Amino acid sequence: MEQTGRAYACGAGTIINAIATWKGAAFGIDLRTEAEVTLTDDRKITGHIDGGGDTSLIERCVELTLSRFGSEHGAHVSTKSQVPSASGLFGSEHGAHVSTKSQVPSASGLKSSSAAANATVLATLEALGETMERLDAVKLGVQAALDAGVTITGAFDDACASMLGGFVVTDNKEKQLISRSERDSEVLILAPFEKALSSRTNVAHSRLVAPWVEMAFGEALGGNYEKAMTLNGFLYCAALGFSTKPMMAALELGIEGVSLSGTGPAYTALGSADLLDKLEPVWQGMGGKVIRTKVNNTGGKPCR
């Protein structure tokens, strides 16, 4: 008999990009990736992404989760997303299928890979009838992302924000959650049409700005998230060659928290509804997709 699990996780915005120092911070945004995993009697783990894409990540997430529980089952994973993934074989007599669908723009710095990984791990657990501490589930997804080559640092900060929601500060090298807090805020996203894969980021340039990123990280530790993300944004725009025009436009309107998200090309701004109402038409004139959402403080969950 087939067993199916469904779950979702959220995208995230950057406060501190961890590439320069291995220390990061991020916040959950209310855009979801949903995953469906069906355990089957097939030896293969197969994946499908709504809209197409590489399924290696989501398939690896299923494989690691099944292996954790020594399952005799396989699975079919289905995702509705443009998040990259990969295909592979599962070393048992059975298999799985996974599929995903997503509201999170892919390859834009909005943590689409973390959202897909988290949703897939949670859906696999649901299909198995098993439970796991959410931080342990995050670490499974991080390992799968490293195995699939879609991240440089493992993106533990992004994965924590996606799974737990709220604002998180992390040590990515130690896979340690330093702090988490909740705060309500409106979010505006400018997602340019071009894509920027995290795995192709100029790491050498990013590490040149490490001393100043450390200063921004200190602000994040103190809960000064808007100041931290704005400093982060200017530093990484300079290091990675992105325009600061979207950030300057936000600052001119009195918005205190705006940044390049991840390794770009998307930008995110935190602020009141009134301020973001003023910023929205300005960003619309810069080209790309403008998305209005809010901070997600709850993170990923099974769909029940």
Domain boundaries, the chain: 1-304
Q: Are 166 and 182 in contact (CB under 8 A)?
A: yes
Kindly give the interhelix angle for 134-148 and 156-164, rounded to the nearest 10 degrees: 140
DSSP single-letter state for residue 81:
S
Alpha carbon of residue 27 to chain centroid: 10
Question: What distance in Å separates the CA atoms of residue 27 and residue 131, rounded to the nearest whole number?
Answer: 24
Q: Could you give the C-alpha distances from 156 to 72, 145, 164, in angstroms and in order? A: 29, 10, 12
The rounded Cα 279 to chain-centroid distance in angstroms is 24
Q: Is 106 exposed, middle or buried (0-12, 13-18, 19+ CB in 10 A)?
A: buried
Bridge partner residues of 9 (DSSP): 33
Cα–Cα distance, 267 to 290 (Å, whole number): 10
d(CA 163, CA 157): 10
Q: What is the DSSP string of 171-201?
A: ETTTTEEEEEE----EEEEEE-SS---GGG-
DSSP state of 87: -
CB contact set of 93 (below 8 Å; sequence gap of 6+): 43, 72
Q: What tens digit of pLDDT does each residue of 123-138 get?
A: 999 999 999 999 999 9
Alpha helices in 111-224 (DSSP H): 112-128, 134-148, 156-164, 203-208, 210-221
Angstrom distance (rounded) from CA 70 to CA 89:
15
304 residues of the chain, pLDDT tens digit each: 469 999 999 999 999 999 999 999 999 999 999 999 999 988 789 999 998 889 999 999 999 999 998 654 555 555 444 333 333 334 455 689 999 999 998 878 889 999 999 999 999 999 999 999 999 999 999 999 999 988 877 899 999 999 999 999 999 999 999 999 999 999 999 998 876 555 456 778 888 999 999 999 999 999 999 999 999 999 999 999 999 999 999 999 999 999 999 988 999 999 999 999 999 999 999 989 999 999 999 999 999 7
- pLDDT tens for each residue of 12-64: 999 999 999 999 999 999 999 999 999 998 878 999 999 888 999 999 999 99
Specify the CATH class of 1-304 in words.
alpha beta
